Amino acid sequence: MRNRIPAHDRHTTAMREMGMKRVIISLFLLSGIIAFGVIGYHTVEDMSILDSLYMTVITISTVGFGEVKPLSSEGRIVTMIIIGTWITIGAYTIGNLFRVLVEGELSKTFGRKKVEKQISQLKNHYIICGYGRIGKLICRELLNNDIDFVAIDNDPEAVEQLDKDKILFIPKDATLEDVLLSAGLMRAKGIVTALRSDADNVFISLTARELRPDIYILARASDESSLLKLKRAGANRVDLPYAIGGKRMAQALVKPAVGDFLDFAVMEMDKNLGLGMEEVLIRENSGLVGKNLIQSNVRQDFGVIIVAIKKHTGEMTFNPAPTEVLYANDTLVILGKKEDLYRMKKKI
């Protein structure tokens, strides 16, 4: 699945974990040296805890400040042990910290390079602008259907979530023309504007339509007043998620049986019955052009149900009659088993 960020190989992961373990061990050893110095000076030289800590710190740091008091032979032995141990452990600790920081930055840099390369190879994919509640749901559905896409969002929380979900994304402002181009707008099949701001969605729609007059644009609107603006900006379809949700909840009250059926059709049909819905475009060179549904033998050959036909004129015909004639650029909305749907799409 190309929507996912390529996982680092096992060797890289193991090296990163080993580096962190070394840092933890180094800090533990450093704490041990400090504890040894405090206890040593306190026991041998009868210094207070604060003076013992002071002597340990200036010894480790080699700043050359004066001693709290002249040291005895035993105190000097403690000092030599601290210095000798610190030379080894200090260099080990600093080296490990530097290595982790450098490797971390290099890993991020090369990680983004891999992602950018993978995005540059996408074709006929979708661009999802915004990884909020709506954008996240859209990405999840595309993932479940193994459809290529790339998300764009510069919100820190969204970026963190995208990275956690290992989704291909660009952490930049989706309203910028160069960002849309870097997401592969000129090769994309469609773009979804799902930002919280209707103004931003209008601007993205305008930009995308100007750059790609033939691209399909699905826009999200927060307010009904933005519907016409988004359509004028070039959006092929505009949805109001809150209005859809409100109607669905009202339907659950007024027509509960219909609501239960829709839930079953959307949520359970694919999971429990192995059924799915698909759309098939009838091209100009298709053998179905000019035939009615009986003559097409679609139902007999593939065992599918034709739920609706979206005519080339834009008109939608539900539960079409057997005598319904098919024309070029009509779109069949079909229901059936996944393997039958696949066979039909492949043949047509």
Could you give the 3-state DSSP secondary structure of residue 309? strand
Predicted confidence band at 198 (pLDDT cuts at 50, 70, 90)? very high
| pLDDT at residue 212 greater than cutoff 50 | yes
pLDDT value at residue 9 = 42
The encoded tokens of residue 345 equal 């799409």
How much is the average pLDDT of 34-50?
87
Sign of CA dihedral 250, 253, 258, 260: positive
Cα–Cα dist 2/210, whole Å: 28
CB 171 within 8 A of CB 154: yes
pLDDT value at residue 94 = 74
The tens digit of pLDDT for each residue in 229-247 reads 999 999 999 998 877 777 7
The tens digit of pLDDT for each residue in 128-160 reads 999 998 999 999 989 888 899 999 999 999 988
The listed range with the strongest mean pLDDT (18-22, 124-128, 258-262, 270-274) is 124-128
Cα–Cα dist 280/50, whole Å: 80
**Sheet harboring 237-239: ordered strands across?**
169-170, 149-152, 126-129, 190-193, 216-220, 237-239
How much is the average pLDDT of 155-178?
90
Predicted confidence band at 275 (pLDDT cuts at 50, 70, 90)? confident
The tens digit of pLDDT for each residue in 279-305 reads 888 888 888 888 888 888 888 888 888
Cα–Cα dist 223/241, whole Å: 10
Angle between helical axes of 49-61 and 10-44 (0-180°, round to 10): 130
Where does the chain have alpha helices with state H? 10-44, 49-61, 73-120, 133-144, 156-164, 177-182, 198-211, 227-232, 241-254, 256-263, 269-272, 293-296, 298-302, 338-347
DSSP state of 224: G
